[in-house]
Amino acid sequence: MKKRSSRGQHTLAREYFVSNDIFAAEHERIFLRSWLLAGHVSQLQEPGSYFLFEIEHESVIVLRDGAGEIRAFHNHCRHRGSRLCRETSGVLGAAIQCPYHAWSYGLDGALRNVPMMNDVAGFDAADYPLHRVALTNWQGFLFVNLADQPLAFADALPGLAGRFGAWQPSELRAVHREVYDVEANWKMFFHNFSECYHCPLAHPVLNKLAPFRNSENDLEEGPVLGGPMWMNNSEGSMTIGGERCAPAFAGLNDEQRGRVYYYTLFPGAFLSFHPDYVLVHRVQPLAIGRTRIVCEWFFHPSAIATPGFDPQPAIALWDMTNRQDWELCVNAYRGVVSRVWRAGPYSELESQLAAFDRQYLRALGIGSESQNIPLRMV
């Protein structure tokens, strides 16, 4: 097993968790320029179906048009800015109509119907389509990027290339969703997910199923970080009782069936590939000290259709683990905001946290070696 190294790094300094200037810079330099996991193709089963993806002041409509193509648009009318869709998901029919003045847009984003604008000199509906948002379908998972000229998806998240096809991600369906609003800074959750140093004390059930030393990292630098973890029962899974909720994915080999694969996708998601299901966490900063985490459990439709299918053991394990982790994150956040707290050293078991910090500082535009923070960044 390859030796890990945190390279002698210390944790991020206190200012990264308390400075409103830094939080604003994160929004502008990281979240508005990165590929963010918005949802899954299974949420868009029929033409006209849509869901909203929202972050801070931005709202994006992700929809399937009449030809079956998936598109993304900013959720505001080109007239006076009214939000077009107010429900988080639904079916639009053939058009999107503004609830304010009835401007109507096709599912391709083109402005189709404009009441009483014929007498406005020079007005041309073709000049006012919905603002498009860059969208990528990666194996069924839908990512959006709010930048005007985003980096290509393959260049932004190269660690995903050629991986995870054996789990048939595009065919999966979510069977359960939990939404957690937690009083801690968003980076605390990436740090927590990226190490199992805390598992023996905080997660006795989880640690019994996959002891914390049974892990290694195959992606150690960049925006995608993580690796596999061996389970004690190579014929089991990560469930409350250690048994599988469904047959193992047909495309997995013997080695893959005995492992769980945990990865962070900078800056907004965690993907966990189990022998029988896929677990997805999406991380959304709501404020400097408040974060929403959406957690979904995905299974293959053939498993879901099997008589007696019961995903509850997987749901129960991870809901329990999530809540244990969120309590740890809140408690740690309460400490790092103290005026007398100073950055502490990472252990070698926390090498992925050090790698996350390097990626974070690069994305923020600060050299990864620097612990000096300019307090006026935007």
215 by DSSP, 3-state: which? strand
Domain ranges within the chain, ordered by starting residue: 15-32+162-364, 36-153
Q: Answer whether 228's CB lies under 8 Å from 216's CB.
A: yes
Q: Is the pTM of this model over 0.85?
A: yes
Closest C-alpha to 209, from 235, 239, 254: 239
**309 phi and psi angles, rounded to 5 deg:** -55, 130
Q: What is the pLDDT of residues 31-66, one digit of tens each?
A: 999 999 999 999 999 999 999 999 989 999 999 999
Is the domain 36-153 a CATH 2.102.10.10 member? yes
Q: What is the pLDDT of residues 133-184, one digit of tens each?
A: 999 999 999 999 999 999 999 999 999 999 999 999 999 999 999 999 999 9
- The residue behind tokens 């997995």 is 252
209 by DSSP, 3-state: which? helix
Question: Rounded mean pLDDT of 336-356?
Answer: 94
Residue 2 banded pLDDT, cuts 50, 70, 90: low
Residue 373 banded pLDDT, cuts 50, 70, 90: very low
Write out the CATH class of domain 15-32+162-364: alpha beta
Q: Answer whether 314's CB lies under 8 Å from 239's CB.
A: yes
Rounded Cα distance, 230 and 243, in Å: 15
What pLDDT sits at residue 266?
A: 98
Rounded Cα distance, 99 and 82, in Å: 8
Displacement of CA 329 from its chain's centroid (Å):
18
What pLDDT sits at residue 367?
A: 65
Q: What is the pLDDT of residues 231-252, one digit of tens each?
A: 999 999 999 999 999 999 999 9
Tell me what percent of the residues of the chain surpass a pLDDT of 70: 96
Rounded Cα distance, 243 and 239, in Å: 6
Distances (CA, A) of 125 to 3, 25, 79, 160, 214: 61, 36, 11, 40, 60
**What single DSSP character describes residue 16?**
H
Which of 102-116, 230-244, 360-374 shows the lowest mean pLDDT across its residues?
A: 360-374
Question: Rounded mean pLDDT of 288-293?
Answer: 98
Question: Rounded mean pLDDT of 81-102?
Answer: 96
- Is the per-residue pLDDT at 215 higher than 90? no
Tell me what percent of the residues of the chain surpass a pLDDT of 90: 87
- The residue behind tokens 């073709």 is 126
Residue 307 banded pLDDT, cuts 50, 70, 90: very high
What pLDDT sits at residue 197?
A: 85
Q: Answer whether 166's CB lies under 8 Å from 252's CB.
A: yes
Residue 1 banded pLDDT, cuts 50, 70, 90: low
**58 phi and psi angles, rounded to 5 deg:** -95, 140
Rounded Cα distance, 129 and 106, in Å: 9
More confident residue, 201 or 76: 76
Give helix then strand counts, H and E, for the chain.
10, 16
Bridging pattern class, strands 36-40 and 49-55:
unpaired
Q: Answer whether 132's CB lies under 8 Å from 240's CB.
A: no
- Is the per-residue pLDDT at 362 higher than 90? yes
Rounded Cα distance, 203 and 209, in Å: 10
Residue 372 banded pLDDT, cuts 50, 70, 90: very low
What is the sign of the dihedral through the CA atoms of 239, 245, 247 and 249?
A: negative
Give the chain's mean pLDDT. Answer: 94
What CA dihedral angle connects 64, 66, 71 and 74, to 10 degrees? -90
Q: Answer whether 276's CB lies under 8 Å from 237's CB.
A: yes
What pLDDT sits at residue 4?
A: 75
Q: Answer whether 320's CB lies under 8 Å from 205's CB.
A: yes
- Is the per-residue pLDDT at 99 higher than 70? yes
What pLDDT sits at residue 213?
A: 78
